[in-house]
A and B are shown apart, each in its own frame.
Chain A
Amino acid sequence: MTALALGANRPTAISPPAELQAVGLKKTFRKGTVEIPVLKGATVSIRRGEFLAIVGQSGSGKSTLLHLLGTLDAPDEGEIWLRGRRIDNLPARQRDNLRNRHFGMIFQFYHLLPELTTLENVLVPLMIGRSVWEYLRQRRRHQRRARELLEVVGLSARLKHKPRELSGGEMQRAAIARALVAGPQILLADEPTGNLDQVTGQEILEILGSLNRQQKLTIVMVTHDPAIAARADRVVRLVDGRLECP
């Protein structure tokens, strides 16, 4: 009942002003006739500029939560608010637009497009967000921005390489550059170090940390590893489909 009560209130009234808010999220997956409830009313509020880590065991639904926050999937119940605006029930076109401009996403398996070079992969969000003419008119500006970002993540020497020619760490750096190229306010990271060795993982976390500190980027990172979660400002734990603060 708490979820309903919260949903009825204007969440903007809660202080301090929240960047991203999830209220009473429920999500159930079906495998044949069997229903598997994954989220059972997860509620979380993320402040602007915060580095939040969500910790949970494998299969606890952390990725699902992250996908719901990033509007990749729709919750069965509950609401998601971005800066005082409800986003989970927006039309598809507006949700596409949100993913393109307001959220940056990085994944455990990097998910770069294998046919494209590093530079092109980074440029894809800019291409998606613009028409052909718009893009071509400002091509130089876009490319400059992509190069700058690749320099920030330390990949300037790998612009023309295809993903299969890159190491795991390099691919994740390219994925970070891609996530940032459209200038999002929130970065959603799904086990960003899950497939990397410790040293490379630390480097990636280093990059995320400095983005958070220097550019005031809001970061939501899910991980199963408490040690990695410790790099965040705040850690919440996902247990049995609900979030609890330790």
Chain B
Amino acid sequence: MYKLLLCLRYLRTRYIALASIISVMLGVATMIVVNAVMSGFAREMENRIHGILSDVVLETRSLSGELDDQRHKEAILEVAGDAVEAMTTTVVVPAMLSFRYGDNWINRQVQLIGIDEDTVCGVSDFAKYLQHPENRRQPSFLLHERGYDVRDPLGGEEAPLRPQMASAGWEHRRRMAQWRALEERLKQAEAGRTGAAPAPAGTAPQGPVPYDPFAQHRPDESAQFDPARQQHPGAILGLILATYRTPGSAEDHFLLLPGDDVTLTFPNAPQGEPPKIISRNFTVVDFYQCKMSEYDSSFVFVPMRTLQELRGMIDPASGLARFNSIQIKLKPGQDGQRVRDRLRGAFDPRFYVIQTWRDKQGPLLAAVQMETAILNVLLFLIIAVSGFGILAIFFMIVVEKTRDIGILKSLGASAWGVMWIFLGYGLSLGLVGSGVGMVLGLQVAWHINDVADWLGRLTGKPVFDPSVYYFYRIPALVNPWTVAWIVLGAVGIAVLASVLPALRAAMLRPVESLRYE
């Protein structure tokens, strides 16, 4: 009982110990906040990656692909049918995206992905990242009249407005067509005035015809294509491909809008001869923004069947098409790695690569995990340092309390009892410090954005720059187990640090401390 009483009294009256309480508190709070933010970022990223990639992906090693996805799907079902919920086929090919902006042509290197819009939604979150509400329900490669979101649908209230998107759709397409026609007429009139022979429409153009420089590749495309009423095959562009940002701002400026035409250039997939270049116009029908800039800046989605036809991937004899990958969604609770290993046993590794989504983004996820681990080690060292603070302060207190220890022993307290006073004191310091630290840390983690805003106002420099991260709020995820481990560790260190002083107190001989003042 006296141990408890004295612990509590020392806790209340020794203000020097407050220093160690504060250092434990700060250490614990920092660790909780950093862990919450790191796991928030990691979760955000994993969600994104997982949303884009399906659970397991089967890819062909050959860019030309393998024949007959149906047969492959049946083989997959045979091997792991109990685990598979849905599958979709895709065709993937590197390509170049070209479009006109003002008088300039802009070229970008992209990953052209042919998707089956009917089955893709069963496998990944593809639809969730589109900008038209109808497309988010059921993706389509047909241009909508209007109704594209003027605010990032995943950004919440903080996302800046995108006023340009208000006019996107057929409305924009018709206006652009009018404008281009006017431009054409003006040019012809000018050419007529200067006396140069105007090139008749529909024949191979010489000289600058800015609208379609690849027209010669497509003799089938008739001259009566009316851009005001017709669209090319639809393409869904990664948002970063079509926008730019000014530094320090989260606002997207659009170079292209749904309704504009773009040209995609890519190799075909011939059998037994070198590939040739195919070029074809597409109409932008929507944007894709999953906020993984790696994907947003390189993915272009087009209808798979169109891509297969253009690349010559359809076998004329049998009518079967070749494909590049099959994405597999697993039933809830299925272990992706086990399914992957089963599939690896069934498909020849010389022709197929089978990976889980984690495998595909392995280095990135591993890097984040390693960063978290190293940060944790470093931050835990802070708490360890505060442990040494406790050690030093406790030695001081033991020296200061030598007489009191002698008194207690003369009153019959055992060496163990005296030791427990100081161990208990260390324990209560640790408990109070980490308890307050936990409350502080959790509060900061839960209100991390307010804190960041406040810090930003205080320093005049935003702490969290959304233009860097493509999300507008700092994600924080508090994992109760992590918090429990941190608190436990801090309390453990406080107790460990008090062991030596406590032992020293226990060893004191009562007489020595009582004899002289």
Complex formed: what's the CA distance from A115 to B409 in Å? 17
How far apart are the CA atoms of A127 and B406 in the complex, in Å? 16
Taking the complex as formed, is B223 at the interface, i.e. its CB lies under 8 A from any CB of chain A? Answer: no
Name the interface size band of chain B.
20 to 34
Interface centre among A70, A96, A112 (most CB of B within 10 A): A96
Q: Hey, which chain B residues are within 8 Å of A178, CB to CB?
A: 411
Task: Choose one: A63, A107, A128; the contact of B2 (CB below 8 Å).
Answer: A128
Judged by a CB distance under 8 angstroms, whether B199 is at the interface is no
Question: Which residues of chain B are near A73, meaning CB under 8 Å?
Answer: 509-511
Number of A-B contacts defined by CB within 8 Å = 76
State whether the Cβ of A189 lies closer than 8 Å to any Cβ in chain B: no
A128-B408, A128-B413 known; A72+B5 contact, CB < 8 A: no
Task: Determine if A70 and B410 form an interchain contact, defined as CB atoms under 8 angstroms apart.
Answer: yes
Q: How far is the CA of A114 from the CA of B408 in the complex (A)?
A: 12
The answer to whether B9 touches A116 (Cβ under 8 A) is: yes
Please tell me if B403 contacts chain A, counting CB pairs below 8 Å. Answer: yes
Q: Output the residue of B13, B404, B514, B515 with the most chain A CB within 10 A.
A: B514
A137 to B137, CA, bound (A): 69
Residues of A within 8 A of B409 (CB): 72, 96, 99
Task: Please give the distance in Å from B5's CB to the nearest CB on chain A.
Answer: 7
Contact A127 B412 (CB under 8 A): no
Task: List chain A residues, Cβ under 8 A from B411.
Answer: 99-100, 105, 124-125, 128, 178
CA distance A116 to B413 in the complex (A): 16
Q: A115-B10, A116-B5, A136-B1 are in contact. Are A129 and B412 (CB under 8 A)?
A: yes
Q: How far is the CB of A172 from chain B (nearest CB, A)?
A: 14
- Return B110 CB to nearest CB of chain A, in Å: 73
The digit string for B143-166, where 1 denotes a CB below 8 A from any CB of A, is 000000000000000000000000
Residues of B within 8 A of A101 (CB): 412
B414 within 8 A of A: yes
**In the assembled complex, which residues on chain A have CB atoms less than 8 Å from the CB atom of B204?**
none
In the assembled complex, the CB of B429 is this many whole angstroms from the nearest CB of chain A, namely 16
Question: Do A124 and B2 form a contact, CB below 8 Å, given A72-B510, A73-B509, A109-B517?
Answer: yes
CB of B236 within 8 Å of the partner chain: no
Contact A100 B1 (CB under 8 A): no
A-contact 0/1 string along B373-416, CB 8 Å cutoff: 00000000000000000000000000000011011111111110
Q: Are B514 and A107 in contact (CB under 8 A)?
A: yes
Contacts of B410 in A (CB 8 A): 70, 72, 99, 105, 111
| B412 adjacent to A135 (CB under 8 Å) | no
Asked whether B370 is an interface residue with its Cβ less than 8 Å from the other chain, the reply is no
Cβ distance A100 to chain B, nearest Cβ, rounded Å:
3
Question: By DSSP majority rule, is chain B's interface helix, strand, loop, or mixed?
Answer: helix
B417 at the interface (CB under 8 A from A): yes
Interface residue A92 (Cβ < 8 Å from any Cβ of B):
yes
- Interface residue ranges of B1-45 to A (CB < 8 Å): 1-2, 4-6, 9-10, 13
Instruction: From B1, B413, B415, B509, name the one whose CB has the most chain A CB atoms within 10 angstroms.
Output: B1
Q: Which residue of A lies closest to B8 (CB)?
A: A115
**Complex: A67 Cα to B2 Cα, angstroms:** 23
Q: Across the two chains, which residue of chain B brings its CB closest to A63?
A: B515
A58-84 residues at the B interface, CB under 8 angstroms: 63-64, 67, 70, 72-73
Q: Which residues from B are CB-within-8-Å of A124?
A: 2, 408, 411
Q: In the complex, how many angstroms separate the beta carbon of B4 from the nearest chain A beta carbon?
A: 7
A132 surroundings in chain B (CB, below 8 A): 1, 4
The residue on B at minimum CB distance from A120 is: B5
Residues of chain A within 8 A of B509, CB atoms compared: 73
For residue B308, give the distance in angstroms from its CB to the closest CB of chain A. Answer: 80
Contacts of B514 in A (CB 8 A): 67, 72, 107, 111
List the A side residues contacting B13 at CB < 8 Å.
115
Find chain B residues with CB under 8 A from A129 CB: 412
Q: Give A130 to B3 CA distance when docked, in angstroms.
A: 11
- The reply to whether B412 and A128 form a contact with Cβ atoms under 8 Å apart is yes
Q: Report yes or no: B511 in contact with A67, Cβ–Cβ below 8 A.
A: yes
- Known A124-B408, A128-B408; judge A93-B1 contact (CB<8 A): no
Contact in complex: A92, B415 (CB < 8 Å): yes
User: Are A96 and B412 within 8 A (Cβ)?
Assistant: yes
Q: Which chain B residue lies CB-closest to A130?
A: B1
Beta-carbon nearest neighbor of B414 in chain A:
A96
Q: Which residue of B4, B404, B417 contacts A113 across the interface (Cβ within 8 Å)?
A: B404
Q: Which residues of B contact A125 (CB under 8 A)?
A: 411-412
The answer to whether B417 touches A128, judged by C-beta atoms less than 8 angstroms apart, is: yes
Residues in A neighbouring B412, C-beta threshold 8 A = 96-101, 125, 128-129, 182
Q: Is the CB–CB distance between A127 and B2 below 8 Å?
A: yes
Shortest distance from the beta carbon of A110 to any chain B beta carbon, whole Å:
10
Contact A127 B510 (CB under 8 A): no
Q: How near does chain B come to A114, taking the closest CB pair, in angstroms? A: 7
Q: Apart from A125-B411, A128-B417, A178-B411, what are 11 other A-B pairs with CB-CB below 8 Å?
A: A72-B409, A93-B414, A111-B403, A111-B406, A112-B407, A113-B408, A127-B1, A128-B408, A129-B412, A131-B1, A132-B4
Provide 11 A-B residue pairs closer than 8 Å at the C-beta atoms, listed in order of the A residue.
A73-B511, A92-B415, A93-B414, A99-B412, A105-B410, A111-B403, A111-B407, A112-B407, A131-B1, A132-B4, A136-B1
The 3 closest A-B pairs by CB, nearest first: A100-B412, A127-B1, A127-B2
B binding-site residues for A, Cβ under 8 Å? 1-2, 4-6, 9-10, 13, 403-404, 406-415, 417, 509-511, 514-515, 517
